[in-house]
Amino acid sequence: ADLGAELPGAIRDDQLFLLFQPIVALDGDRRVLGAEALVRWAHPAHGTLAPDAFIPVAERTGMIVPLSRWVLRAVLSRMSAWPAGTAVNINISARDLREPDFAETVAGLLAEHGVAPGRVTLEITESMPVEPGESLAVLRDLRDLGVKFALDDFGTGSSTLSLLHDVPVDEVKLDRSFSQAAPDDRLTVAAGVAHLAQAMSLHAVAEGVETEEQAERLRGLGYRAAQGYLFARPMPAADFEAMLPLTS
Ligand code: G
Ligand code: G
Ligand code: MN
Ligand code: NA
């Protein structure tokens, strides 16, 4: 099957849907700070497809641009009903930042749905490096608007540190391989990233936390927020909303 050729129709016919994975505070009561939005494709013939099955082809064909817009609209319209303190992380592609009107699109959607820009963190990875020049200008426009940025899968890429140097971000998300590492091996990476985050005044979030032991260790290293199966799996919006405090 040629998923690339089917994507335009899938977006048009709303075959995409979102799951939300809670991001919790590691200290105290582990309250829900927000969620990461994760896209899925309810394919009529193949069942539910994970992003790994269609995001790469969307990036190659350029369909990622309308796909990201679909995701942004779906997330922002949903979260307009959430308590104002609830934040969201949305994965975008570096390809999106090459669209000169991307910042305007985001600004328009935020205004349309009455969502404060500071509640939105856009996650970027190193898989498609952010190019200097126009992409950086778009990123700066978004930051001027008040939108935040996170470096996803932090620690796994070959250009992690130079990217951090070149691109202004607010948050690093420690890759789950480091969150889950035993104390005697790659714990040093988790510790190093925590120190780096503190030195650069970045918010450090640990991904893929699966055990109480990992959570305690990461909290001790200075991670104040985390995500992982220990706390909650990605879930439908309504289930996530049931975890939020009631709005006044
Ligand atoms: O949800 P899952 O574990 O299958 O996610 C796999 C990968 O797909 C992750 O790296 C995640 O960042 C990426 N991903 C999930 N949702 C989106 C999305 O809406 N847009 C983009 N560009 N990537 C996404
Ligand atoms: O690349 P990114 O970090 O955006 O990928 C997020 C994906 O990681 C989610 O789609 C989810 O399926 C997966 N994930 C979230 N928590 C855990 C976890 O605790 N363990 C594992 N193995 N995967 C997780
Ligand atoms: Mn992510
Ligand atoms: Na990602």
Q: Which residue's alpha carbon is at the smallest distance from atom 16 of ligand 1?
A: 38
147 occurs within a structural domain: yes
The Cα–Cα gap between 40 and 15 comes to: 9
pLDDT of residue 201: 96
248 occurs within a structural domain: no
CB of 194 closer than 8 Å to CB of 226: no
Give the count of domains, the chain: 1
Return the higher-pLDDT residue of 2 and 162. Answer: 2
Ligand (nearest to CA of 89): 3
Atom of ligand 1 nearest to the CA of 50: 4
User: Domain span at residue 206?
Assistant: 3-242
Taking only the tens place, the pLDDT of each residue in 3-42 is 999 999 999 999 999 999 999 999 989 999 999 999 999 9
Taking only the tens place, the pLDDT of each residue in 38-69 is 999 999 999 999 999 999 999 999 999 999 99
* Across 143-152, average pLDDT: 96
Tell me which of 39, 57, 93 to substitute to probe ligand 1's pocket, judged by most ligand atoms within 8 Å of the beta carbon: 39
Tell me which of 7, 23, 76, 91 to substitute to probe ligand 1's pocket, judged by most ligand atoms within 8 Å of the beta carbon: 91
Taking only the tens place, the pLDDT of each residue in 85-108 is 999 999 999 899 999 999 999 999
| Rounded distance from Cα 65 to ligand 2 centre (Å) | 23
Q: What percent of the chain has pLDDT over 90?
A: 82
37 occurs within a structural domain: yes
* Residues near ligand 1 (Cβ within 6 A): 38-39, 50-52, 55, 71, 91-93, 152, 234
The Cα–Cα gap between 55 and 86 comes to: 27
Ligand (nearest to CA of 23): 2
pLDDT of residue 163: 82
CATH code for the domain in which residue 55 is found = 3.20.20.450
pLDDT of residue 228: 98
Atom of ligand 1 nearest to the CA of 19: 1
Q: Which two tokens stand for residue 210?
A: 């699966």
| Rounded distance from Cα 166 to ligand 4 centre (Å) | 19
The structure tokens 């592609």 sit at: 93
94 occurs within a structural domain: yes
17 occurs within a structural domain: yes
Taking only the tens place, the pLDDT of each residue in 184-206 is 655 578 999 999 999 999 999 99
247 occurs within a structural domain: no
Alpha-carbon distances of 155 from 170, 177, 196, rounded to whole Å: 16, 9, 11
pLDDT of residue 248: 44
Q: Is residue 95 in contact with ligand 2, taking CB distance under 6 Å?
A: no
Taking only the tens place, the pLDDT of each residue in 196-242 is 999 999 999 999 999 999 999 999 999 999 999 999 999 999 999 99
pLDDT of residue 73: 98
The Cα–Cα gap between 248 and 64 comes to: 37
Q: Is the pLDDT of residue 128 over 90?
A: no
pLDDT of residue 191: 93
| Rounded distance from Cα 70 to ligand 2 centre (Å) | 21
